[in-house]
Structure 1
Amino acid sequence: MHGTIFTLLKRYVQTQYDHSTWIQLLENADLTAADFDHKHVYPDEHLYRLVGEAATMTGLSADELHEKFGEYLVPDLMYMYQKLLRPEWTTLDMLEHTESTMHKQVRQENAGNTPPVLHVTRISPDELFIDYVSARRMSALAVGIVRGVARYYDEAESIEVEPTTSENGEQVRIRVRRIR
């Protein structure tokens, strides 16, 4: 997992809770703040441990935490990859082009970067399916990112996001549609 994700996770925990919660989370996961630098790639296990400990500390499920964190990530991701975005895009357009723009760029930056593979099928101008494929089994993070993208494009009230298969699988289908 790219170090930027850990940097943003730290900021998320500090803004939603506080700095001492981040320190406690690291201690509970047997990690230290020195373990993360935004320029490196780290074992996925680190994120699993952090999210697992956060679930224990908050009483929320790991999937709920992944979704909330996914939503939180979007403004930073859009800022980082703004040069790849087209001004005329809507939520569905951006999702349709994520794999060929942002994920392509992420993979080119470092061979160790392995974002999930997203196979997007546009069903109509108002609907698409995202087939999420990743051994990480973090499709709840993807669901949160989709919701965050809808909020970014000021379409949160009109975009419905629905996983149509188990969110714990390596292959998950997510239905996204404009409802009004």
Structure 2
Amino acid sequence: MHGTIFTLLKRYVQTQYDHSTWIQLLENSGLTATDFDHKHVYPDEHMYRLVGQASAMTGIPAHELQEKLGEYLVPDLMYMYQKLLQPEWTTLDMLEHTEYTMHRQVRSEHTENAPPVLNVTRIGPDELFIDYVSKRRMGALAVGIVRGVAAYYDEADVIKIEPTTSENGEEVRIRVRRLR
């Protein structure tokens, strides 16, 4: 997993809790503070250990923590990829184009990185399905990112997000609808 995600996870923990919580999380996970930098890719196992330990420390289920992190990531991700965004896009447009814009760039810049494959099917002007495919089994993170994208486009109150399969699988289907 790309180091940027770990860097943002660190900031999330520090802002939601504090720096000592981050240090404790690293220690409980058997990792060190020097393990992450935004220019490298790290084993997915590091993220699993951190999320698992964070769940144990907070009592919050791992999938909920992944969703919260996903929402938190969006402003930074949108800033990083702003040159790829079109000003007329809405939440559904952004989601429809993620695979062929942002994920394509990530794969070309970091060949060792493997963001999930997002097969998006637009059902109509107000609905689409996202088929998340990844051996990482972090569909909950994707659900959180979708929520964060809706908030970014100021549509959180009109976008309904429904995972239609388990968020733990290698393949997760997410239904996204704009309510009228």
Determine helix, strand or coil for the equivalent of 2:48: helix
The TM-score normalised by the length of structure 2 is 0.99
Secondary structure of 1:121's match?
strand
1: CA distance, partners of 2:163 / 2:49: 24
Q: After TM superposition, give the deviation of residue 113 of structure 1 in Å.
A: 1.1
Q: What is the CA RMSD across the aligned residues, in angstroms?
A: 0.4
Are 1:72 and 2:67 counterparts? no
Residue 81 of structure 1 corresponds to 81
Aligned mates of 2:177, 2:150 — CA distance in 1? 10
What secondary structure sits across from 1:167 in the alignment?
coil
> Structure 1 residue 134 and structure 2 residue 108: aligned?
no
Which amino acid is the alignment partner of residue 58 of structure 1? T
Question: CA offset at residue 160 of structure 1?
Answer: 0.2
1:80-100, CA deviations, whole angstroms, 9 ceiling, x for partnerless residues?
Answer: 000000000000000000000
Q: How many residues align?
A: 180
Shift of 1:13: 0.2
Structure 2 letter corresponding to 1:149:
V
Gap regions ≥5 residues in structure 1: none
State yes or no: 1:27 paired with 2:24. Answer: no
1:103 paired residue number: 103
Q: Alignment partner of 1:142: what SS?
A: helix
Instruction: Report % sequence identity.
Output: 83
In 1, the alpha carbon distance for the partners of 2:137 and 2:14 equals 25
Off by >4 Å, runs of 4+ in structure 1 = none
Deviation at 1:167, TM superposition (A): 0.9
Q: How far is 1:166 from its partner?
A: 1.1
Unaligned runs of 5+ in 2: none
